[in-house]
Structure 1
Amino acid sequence: MPGRGTQKVNKKALADFKVGVDNVIFSVDTQQNRLLVLLVMRQDQPFLGQWSLPGTLVRNGESLEDGAHRILAEKIRVNNLYLEQLYTFGGPSRDPRESPSSFGVRYLSVSYFALVRFEEAELIADGVSGIAWYPIKQVPKLAFDHNEILEYGYRRLRNKLEYSPVAFDVLPEVFTLSDLYQLYTTILGENFADYSNFRARLLKLGFLSDTGLKVSRGAGRPASLYRFDAEAFAPLKDKPLVFI
């Protein structure tokens, strides 16, 4: 019989985790004013034949970021991209392969989000029966909790545009302010800011460098080409900025 002061401890078994990486890969189609997300069709159970985010289980000796880059390299070819870790999803019922027993394997998803330009990204269809860009507003029911992961990534992307230079990671080295504005409107919607105010705000921040070159598009007068000046931005990196 337990002595006085002895407490009965309820010890639960430690979970056995497998870790996966799921990528929310956005592309900006400025020609048709669409924000797209890359989906692949699952080739295995569970959710065989259902659309999902591109993902993988992390291999032995592989870092999480290396796993995210591997998935990117297996699905698209692109020169300019932005990649950032998003969030860890680990609810006990997010994967049907998990056993209801406390001794069952648990599946974590460490998610990343990436941003690329649609016209630059070439899809790689090797080894998959389905891979496609889906407009963000037309995404079907996805496998696992991938709709939740996608929504979280979409919120993060919109927030990042407001306070960080993420857009410049996917633009060409030189660009017009109209190119930049079009990227913002594709993601945030056409009513997020007036072009004149947007232009004045970005130029005032002081990290866009005028190259002195101009480009002609259509019948309008030539537009100036700018370059993102990372050195000029460095002192502002940790300050609360509002880009728009």
Structure 2
Amino acid sequence: MIDPTINFGKNSVADFKVGVDNVIFSVDTQRNRLLILLVKRPHDPFANYYSLPGTLVCTGESLETAAYRTLSEKIEVENLYLEQLYTFGEPGRDPRENETSYEQRYLSVSYFALVRYEDTNLITKDNQKAVWHLLKETPQLAFDHNRILRYGYQRLRNKLEYSPIAFKVLPEAFTLNDLYQFYTTVLGENFSDYSNFRARLLKLGFLTDTGLKVSRGAGRPAALYRFDEDAFALLKDKPLVFI
């Protein structure tokens, strides 16, 4: 119930500027590194700080279009899929609000994606150099972007439990150890025992043995698998836990 004693007068309505900020993760499967896309800011506020790639939304532009626009200036990648993560709009999240006594507020709608490291090309433009940064060594970021990044990382961890997002990043044919290494890179080495992980994934029935094997090092050749999207479609409405 609305408190009738609160004064919702003419001056109580905030003037919002709306921006988008993108949390773009990549897993370097060759070196088992979890990376986050960052941009160094050339101007105030937070000049020379790293931030998530973002932009203010232009007149007549949708939020999603703005998110894709700013990324197209920072990274080249095929088939990039973005999903909306969360909206951040607390007073004081942008220092420019202090200059107007909070009469003008800055709201951020964040987006989330995971891309294949090998398929990306970073773009340097207008002194805003995009870089891949190790997630575990993320510096203090501009604005509240460390908080946005934490939300994004939690979303990534959650999606690994119930969605086939990993197979969008792995090669078409992969070993079960490749898949296990992907999960340990994102979740940490102690997330699961390999034998239990292997048994659970094979039991779900959407991995197809290609009949091919690959030799790496002195060990026995390992079977190559493919993700069967049709088999997964039969399970997509059921609660799955991959790990």
Q: Same fold (TM over 0.5)?
A: yes
In 2, Cα distance between equivalents of 1:88 and 1:217: 45
Q: What residue identity is the alignment partner of 1:154?
A: Y
Aligned-pair CA distance for 1:104: 2.1
In 2, Cα distance between equivalents of 1:212 and 1:75: 40
> Within 5 Å, which residues of 2 pair with 1:46-57?
46-57=45-56
* Residues 20, 57 of structure 1: 8 Å contact kept: yes
Which residue of structure 1 aligns with residue 131 of structure 2? 132
| 1:231 has 2:230 as partner | yes
**CA shift digits 1:177-232 (9 cap, x unpaired):** 12111110101111111222111111110111222233333333332222212221
What's the C-alpha RMSD, in Å, of the aligned pairs? 2.1
Q: What residue identity is the alignment partner of 1:20?
A: G
* Residues 81, 169 of structure 1: 8 Å contact kept: no
Q: What residue identity is the alignment partner of 2:126?
A: G
Q: What residue identity is the alignment partner of 2:36?
A: V
Instruction: Return closer, same or farther for 1:55/1:184 CA change in 2, 3 Å cut-off.
Output: same
| 1:146 has 2:161 as partner | no
Aligned-pair CA distance for 1:88: 0.3
Instruction: Return closer, same or farther for 1:102/1:238 CA change in 2, 3 Å cut-off.
Output: farther
In 1, Cα distance between equivalents of 2:155 and 2:54: 19
Aligned-pair CA distance for 1:77: 1.9
Which residue of structure 2 aligns with residue 241 of structure 1? 240
Alignment partner of 1:184: what SS?
A: helix
Task: Say how many residue pairs are matched.
Answer: 238
Which residue of structure 2 aligns with residue 188 of structure 1? 187
> Within 5 Å, which residues of 2 pair with 1:151-162?
151-162=150-161
Which runs of at least 4 in structure 1 moved beyond 4 Å after TM superposition?
Answer: 99-103
Which residue of structure 1 aligns with residue 108 of structure 2? 109
With 230-239 and 207-216 compared, the bigger mean Cα shift is at 207-216
Alignment partner of 2:150: what SS?
A: helix
Which residue of structure 2 aligns with residue 41 of structure 1? 40
Aligned-pair CA distance for 1:70: 2.1
Alignment partner of 2:97: what SS?
A: coil
Q: Which runs of 5+ in 1 are unaligned?
A: 1-6
**CA shift digits 1:87-136 (9 cap, x unpaired):** 00000111111257677221110111211233332211122343322211
In 2, Cα distance between equivalents of 1:79 and 1:173: 15
| 1:11 has 2:8 as partner | yes
Q: What residue identity is the alignment partner of 1:65?
A: E
Aligned-pair CA distance for 1:81: 4.8
Q: What residue identity is the alignment partner of 2:136?
A: K
Aligned-pair CA distance for 1:83: 2.8
In 1, Cα distance between equivalents of 2:131 and 2:90: 28
In 2, Cα distance between equivalents of 1:179 and 1:80: 22
| 1:31 has 2:30 as partner | yes
